[in-house]
């Protein structure tokens, strides 16, 4: 079966412990502390792989772990940092926190690589703790612990146009006719299991079309494979309803459109409100003596609501050009911005112990110092070089009340804030 969901456990590397040792050399009987620092733990990184189109690699393996950092050594030797683990996923993969369902990352658009869990920072060796009153410190800092998280991987295919319809109305045939896709084609009375993607090449600009596996009534409630595939339509900007105008299997094409729109609306109202077009397929099989013209009936029912109806035959190619160029115009007149899901869950938050203290004070030089165990721990797990890491950092300052305390202390725009060697200019 097509693998478009997987639940896995990811774990970053633990930071290596700092080392306790003292310099011991001939003629230097009482050398000072020389314990080295521990290495940093490896990160858990997700990366888009253009060659993948399923999450199959994550269906039979549950746990993925980065390497731990090594302990520091004697003679100020720094422990080796742990290796990152890079997990390759198809474009369009959504990474959610499993318990809450909140989005951690959307691996689509410009987001090709993202650190999801940071490795623990290595602990300081005892060389850092020597003072005038404590010249032989027998203490070294332990490495920061690893982060572990259960995540749900969910593939939502990237396509401009979603092709929907009941099983056996000709979606696979149409896709193979108008794109470079080669889906399996047969007279199936059950739904195709794979969402097939293809590129439509047209003068003036092409687009990507996805054959969304056949829907059945009750799909929005999870009947059959409904929920398994409705997610694939979430990124599409235009919807093509493919119906069997000839009613070769006794289906009513008008009722089919209403039924599928009902399922789309029940799943997500915003999807059902997107631009739609009806492709009335199998016109080559319409019997002239069968009674009322099904094409006219479809037009009278839906065109007053702004939904165009195009009579086509996926087998002979009749009407396909008119349909595709109309869809091209619809796309040009819709929002061109790709649908990307915003981050809702920041794994760093679970590491912040709100009982840990911190201080905010202004120095004589006019610099604002923010320090304390809570700040040190947050900085140890936050990648400030990334845009998402910096967003988390800003949210942390706001949620913990640090920004309020800085303003209460009289900070002004352009003033400098320092946190353990990091300096920032303050802006509202």
User: What is the greatest pairwise CA distance in the chain?
Assistant: 112
pTM: 0.63
Nearest CA to 102 out of 351, 376, 342, 267 is that of 342
Residue 231 vs residues 60, 93, 162, 227, 267: alpha-carbon distances, Å: 22, 11, 11, 7, 9
Distance CA 232, CA 162 (A): 8
Sequence-distant (≥ 6) Cβ neighbours of residue 226 within 8 angstroms: 215, 216, 218, 219, 220, 263, 267
Instruction: Output 337-343 pairs: Cβ under 8 A, ≥24 positions apart.
Output: 338/108, 338/109, 338/158, 338/235, 339/234, 339/235, 339/237, 340/106, 340/108, 340/109, 340/111, 341/94, 341/103, 341/106, 342/103, 342/106, 343/103, 343/104, 343/105, 343/106, 343/388, 343/391
What is the SS3 assignment for 74?
Answer: coil
Nearest CA to 48 out of 3, 89, 85, 4 is that of 89
Q: Which pLDDT does position 205 carry in this prediction?
A: 79
Distance CA 318, CA 280 (A): 11
Q: Which pLDDT does position 217 carry in this prediction?
A: 52
Burial class (CB in 10 A: 0-12, 13-18, 19+), 248: middle
Walk along the chain (428 residues) and give the pLDDT tens digit of each residue: 345 788 999 999 999 988 888 877 766 666 778 888 999 999 999 999 988 877 888 888 899 999 999 998 888 889 899 999 999 998 888 899 998 888 999 898 888 999 999 898 888 888 877 776 677 778 788 888 888 999 999 888 778 888 888 877 777 788 888 876 554 444 443 444 556 777 888 887 788 888 876 555 554 454 444 455 677 778 888 999 988 888 777 788 899 899 888 888 888 888 888 899 999 888 877 776 556 788 888 999 999 999 999 998 888 888 889 999 999 999 888 877 777 888 888 887 666 666 677 777 887 777 778 777 777 767 666 666 666 667 777 777 777 777 888 788 777 777 787 777 677 777 76
Nearest CA to 118 out of 61, 63, 66 is that of 66
| Secondary-structure breakdown of the chain: helix, strand, coil percentages, each rounded to the nearest 5 | 25, 20, 50
């Amino acid at each position: 079966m097509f693998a478009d969901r997987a639940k896995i456990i990811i774990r970053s590397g633990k930071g290596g412990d700092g080392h306790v040792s003292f310099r011991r050399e001939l003629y230097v009987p009482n050398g000072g502390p020389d314990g080295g620092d521990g290495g940093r733990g490896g990160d858990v990184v997700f990366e888009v792989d253009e060659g993948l189109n399923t999450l199959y690699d994550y269906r039979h393996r549950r746990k993925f772990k980065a390497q731990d950092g090594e302990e520091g050594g004697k003679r100020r030797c720094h422990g080796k940092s742990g290796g990152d683990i890079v997990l390759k996923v198809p474009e369009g993969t959504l990474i959610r926190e499993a318990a809450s369902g909140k989005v951690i990352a959307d691996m689509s658009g410009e987001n090709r690589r993202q650190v999801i869990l940071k490795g623990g920072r290595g602990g300081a060796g005892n060389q850092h703790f020597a003072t005038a009153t404590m010249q032989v410190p027998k203490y070294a800092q332990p490495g920061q612990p690893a982060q572990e998280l259960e995540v749900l991987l969910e593939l939502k295919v990237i396509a401009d146009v979603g092709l929907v319809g009941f099983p056996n109305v000709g979606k696979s045939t149409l896709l193979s006719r108008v794109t470079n896709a080669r889906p399996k084609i047969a007279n199936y009375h059950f739904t195709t299991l794979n969402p097939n993607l293809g590129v439509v090449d047209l003068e003036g600009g092409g687009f990507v079309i996805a054959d969304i596996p056949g829907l059945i009534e009750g799909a929005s409630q999870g009947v059959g494979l409904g929920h398994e595939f409705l997610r694939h339509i979430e990124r599409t900007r235009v919807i093509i309803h493919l119906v069997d105008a000839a009613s070769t299997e006794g289906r009513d094409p008008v009722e089919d459109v209403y039924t599928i729109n009902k399922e789309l609306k029940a799943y997500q109202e915003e999807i059902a409100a997107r631009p739609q077009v009806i492709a009335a397929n199998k016109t080559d099989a319409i019997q002239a003596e069968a009674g009322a013209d099904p094409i006219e009936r479809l037009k009278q029912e839906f065109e007053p609501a702004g939904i165009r109806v195009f009579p086509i035959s996926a087998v002979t190619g009749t009407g396909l050009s008119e349909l595709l160029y109309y869809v091209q115009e619809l796309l040009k007149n819709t929002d061109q911005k790709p649908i990307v899901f915003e981050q809702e869950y920041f794994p760093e938050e679970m590491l912040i112990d709100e009982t840990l203290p911190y201080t905010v004070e202004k120095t004589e030089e006019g610099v604002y110092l923010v320090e304390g165990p809570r700040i040190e721990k947050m900085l140890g797990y936050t990648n400030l070089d990334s845009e998402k890491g910096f967003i988390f950092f800003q949210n942390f300052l706001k949620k913990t009340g640090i920004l309020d305390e800085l303003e209460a202390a009289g900070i002004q725009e352009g003033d400098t804030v320092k946190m353990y060697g990091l300096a920032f200019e303050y802006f509202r």
